[in-house]
Amino acid sequence: MELAIHNIIGEKLQTLLGDQYEGKHLEYDFMVYHIHKSKIAEALELLKTDADLNFHFLTTLCASHFPENKGAEFVMMYQLHNMYQNVRIRIKTQLPENELSLPSITQLWPSANWMERQEYDFFGINFEGHPDLRRILNMDEMNYFPLRKEYRMEDAGRDDKDDKFFGR
Amino acid sequence: MVDIKPEYKPEGLEGAGYFATTLSKAVGLARANSLWPLPFATSCCGIEFMATMASHYDLARFGSERLSFSPRQADLLMVMGTISKKLGPVLRQVYEQMAEPKWVLSMGACASTGGIFDTYSVLQGIDRIMPVDVYIPGCPPRPEQVLEGILKIQELAKNEDIRRRHSPEYKAMLANYGLE
Amino acid sequence: MPIPFDASNLLSPAQIRQAEWDALGYNTINLGPTHPATHGIFQNILQMDGEIIRHAEPTIGYIHRAFEKLAEHRPYNQIAPITDRLNYCSSPINNMGWHMTVEKLIGCQVPKRADYMRVIIMELSRIADHIICTTIIGQDTGATTGFLYFFQMREKIYEIFEGLCGARLTTNIGRIGGMEREFTQDVWKKLETFMTEFPVALAEFRDLVERNRIFMDRTINCGPISADRALAYGFTGPNLRAAGIDYDVRVAQPYSSYEDFDFAIPVGANGDTYDRFMVRIEEMVESFSIIQQAMSKMPEGPIHADVPAFYLPEKQEVYSKMEALIYHFKIVMGEMDVPKGEVYHAVEGGNGELGFYLISDGGRTPYRLHFRRPCFIFYQAYPEMITGTMLSDAILTLSSLNVIAGELDA
């Protein structure tokens, strides 16, 4: 792994964001950068447009739910890729449950459109400025966000699964 | 002259130059060997159905090579693959559009019971929304199993009374599913 | 807390602009969800100006099976069967990708022989995947003959998979830590027969379709996408390479000893249907060469790493040794000791970069598993690609993108 570019990224993020840049650490083969949620759009824009960094490809993004972690129940992850230098990084930001909103990055990467819709569908994260924030995989009529930890995997309305047969 | 022996012949009276049987049997014979399937292929099972249709297994040997993509002309609805709750109404509409007589073949574990996908989004078996004639187990079933499923449907078609679809029992069964 | 259902804010952009289009005299056509020409469950609401598509509004999720939620409730070794059903045209690649993700998490080094066996299996399934896509492009342009002839090769690959694991399509080949068994003599024999028959069949298929005047007229400049747009839309795999970008996960981040093999990355120039078709054809040639190299260079040695906590012991040992019995019980009951951490591992699937993002909290199931599904990401570009083209080109573009519904909706 080339550490030089990671130092540059760290410095540039530090100058742009100041305190909102919350450090980096190595997680297996990925360098993970922690950024405060208020500055996530600026940080991603810098990473994409800066000529030295040039993270031009959004590999994926996803949210995850940690209900025990009070004050930061949701974590949003973005994975960027610089194909020229073949460097991948991961950006993470934490979201409290009562303020579930992030700026949409569809302006930077059109591919984020459906990915953000999917995370809205699963977790209910509100992406501000998204052109069409509706459910994408589930039915529009669904009234909960199924991937949150408090919801069961099975359909809540099932009556044919008698617990006594399943030993639960 | 070649002595032609039909593989299947319904029961009936036979003599020199004639063969008499019931109308149901004669109609059933015709129906059974020219089933037009409507492939409602959603996922993995659809790929196995493609293998069944292709040259190696050759569904055409059983008179079902003419796929009818319009429900109006189809006799057999082949439901292959996972049916989610979002897709359920679509499938039901397709079924309602088909003209009688119609048969339904549920191919694979997902269509029959929901399979391994016991989740919030998957319909746990299409028999919750429509009557099913033949289930093919497997995830996905082998093409041989699909062929056997079609043969079972043919068996049903051969032995069906032509008045069955007008009987009160049949109507009551449809009413169970909320169909008319 | 459940949110109340409010139907008023559910209007799609197409529904909002419907009146505007009606005023222009456009016809609204509902293509799908069950349309004979779309191979799978895809719905597109098209606004047609005569034969020209002016706007397309895709709806997906018709076979959403909640893989990500399901994976949170299953032990690590029971997730491989779910991955089978992601891109079901090339299940083994998904299986291997998942096994490698867990191997990365637990820090396990797979022996070379297992790597090479995996490479053979993955390349076979890549060929199988591309056979589906190329023959379906042929089918949609009217060249059904190609489908009928070339699909037989897929049957041969199925037979090899059957010898390996007993299943044809949803294979669940491999285990965390290596392969579950050696290739049998029969598998080697079938593989060798395949290696002699495949070039002939491929040449035959190429002769039928590749330079066919009708086929070329029909596919060249059909549904093109530029390299910039392709990258912006997150294209990977053959569809990105058809647009001219030589990005291949096998080369960029080699896994499973891909660095040992010598192969080229075919690229296209225009990103149109013909390029996507040709890239896949050329990739089959490359995959064939990789299999050849792997077969000739196949090293001797064990077929799995020494990770008794994850790899099921031999049945013989389960009956005779206590440790083996304990491990067997723990693995079967899903009680594995997994370190905490999060990993991302990507493999080059049939359609592009298939990534697994796994968060482990040390429990018996993944805390969160996110699939980076290439189809889901690049299918977003479809409306843009078909706007301004004819309806029949839209069908062809869809089949040349090789969107697999299972991977799209997860």
Query: How does DSSP classify residue C256?
Result: T
Q: Is residue B171 in a domain?
A: no
Which strand (E) or helix (H) includes residue C48?
Answer: strand C43-49
Q: Report ipTM (2 d.p.).
A: 0.92
For C125-157, write each residue's pLDDT tens digit: 999 999 999 999 998 888 888 888 898 899 999
In the predicted structure, residue C325 carries a pLDDT above the cut 90: yes
Domain identity same for C48 and C79? no
CB contact under 8 A, B84 and C82: no
Contact A28 C10 (CB under 8 A): no
In a shared domain, residues C299 and C338: yes
Q: How many residues does chain B have?
A: 180
Q: Count of H helices and E strands in chain B?
A: 6, 6
pLDDT > 80? residue A165: no
Q: At C285, which amino acid appears?
A: V
The angle formed by the CA atoms of residues C273, C275 and C280, to the nearest 5 degrees, is: 100
Structure confidence at residue B145 (pLDDT): 92
* Per-residue model confidence (pLDDT) at position C130: 93
CATH code of the domain in which B87 resides: 3.40.50.12280
Query: If residue B39 lies in a helix (H) or strand (E), which one and from where to where?
Result: strand B37-41
Q: Is C2 part of any domain?
A: no
Per-residue pLDDT band for B180 (boundaries 50, 70, 90) equals: confident
pLDDT of C334: 82
Please state, as a whole number, how many other Cβ atoms lie within 10 Å of the Cβ of residue A102. 24
- The pLDDT, as a whole number, for residue A143 is 85
**Nearest-CA distance from B76 to chain C in Å?**
15
For position B137, what pLDDT does the model report? 92
**Residue B93, H or E segment:** helix B88-97
Average pLDDT, chain C: 90
| Per-residue pLDDT reduced to its tens digit, C204-235 | 999 999 898 999 999 999 989 999 999 999 99
Q: Are residues C177 and C292 in the same domain?
A: yes
pLDDT at A160: 66
- Best of C229, C376, C378, C403 to disrupt the A interface by mutation (most A CBs within 10 Å)? C376
CA distance linking residue C235 with residue C240, whole number of Å = 5
DSSP state of B66: S
Say yes or no: C137 and C180 in one domain.
yes
Query: Residues for chain A: how many in total?
Result: 168
Contact at CB, A134 and C12, closer than 8 angstroms? yes
For residue C96, the model assigns a pLDDT of: 93
Average pLDDT over residues B145-162: 91
* Helix or strand (DSSP H, E) at C154: helix C144-165
d(CA A145, CA A137): 11
Q: How far apart are CA B135 and CA B25, in angstroms?
A: 24
Cα of B169 to nearest chain C Cα, Å: 31
Q: Count how many domains chain C has.
A: 2
CATH architecture of the domain formed by A3-151: 2-Layer Sandwich (3.30)
The more confident residue out of C42 and C12 is C42
Same domain, C55 and C99: no
Taken in order A122, A126, A127, A130, the sign of the CA dihedral is positive
Nearest chain B Cα distance for residue C8, angstroms: 19
C375 touches chain A (CB under 8 A): no
Which pLDDT does position A20 carry in this prediction? 87
Candidate from A56, A60, A124 with C-beta closest to C355: A60
Task: Name the domain count of chain B.
Answer: 1
Give per-residue pLDDT as tens, A14-53. Answer: 988 888 888 889 988 889 999 998 889 999 999 999 888 8
In a domain, B131, yes or no: yes
Tokens coding C51? 């034969």
**Do the Cβ atoms of A40 and A93 come closer than 8 Å?**
yes
Written as one string, the DSSP assignment of C335-404 is -----SEEEEEEEEETTEEEEEEEEE-SSSS-SEEEEE-HHHHHGGGHHHHHTTSBHHHHHHHHHHHT--
Residues in chain C: 410
User: What is the domain range of residue C79?
Assistant: 67-409
User: Which of the residues C41, C145, C375 would you substitute to probe the B interface, choosing the one with the greatest number of B C-beta atoms within 10 Å?
Assistant: C41
Both C296 and C357 in one domain: the answer is yes
Residues of B in contact with A155 (CB under 8 A): 119-120, 124
Do C55 and C128 fall within a single domain? no
Residues of C in Cβ contact (< 8 Å) with B138: none
**Crossing angle for the helix pair C144-165 and B44-53, nearest 10 degrees?**
120
Classified as helix, coil or strand, A88 is: strand
CA angle, corner A84, sides to C228 and C115, nearest 5? 110
Whether B162 is in a domain gets the answer: no
Domain membership of residue B28 (yes or no) is: no
Mean pLDDT within A96-117: 92
- Within 8 A of C370 by CB-CB distance, chain A residues are 60, 62, 64
pLDDT at position C20 over 70: yes
Higher pLDDT, B54 or A78: A78
Based on the domain organization, do C39 and C153 belong to the same domain? no
**Domain presence at residue C231:** yes
Distance CA C137, CA C276 (A): 10
Distance CA C191, CA C119 (A): 13
- Residue C203 has what pLDDT? 94
Confidence of residue B76 (pLDDT cuts 50, 70, 90): very high
- Please give the average per-residue pLDDT across A105-113, as a whole number: 92
Nearest CA in chain A to C106: A28
Q: Which residue has the tokens 């509902």?
A: C30
pTM exceeding 0.90:
yes
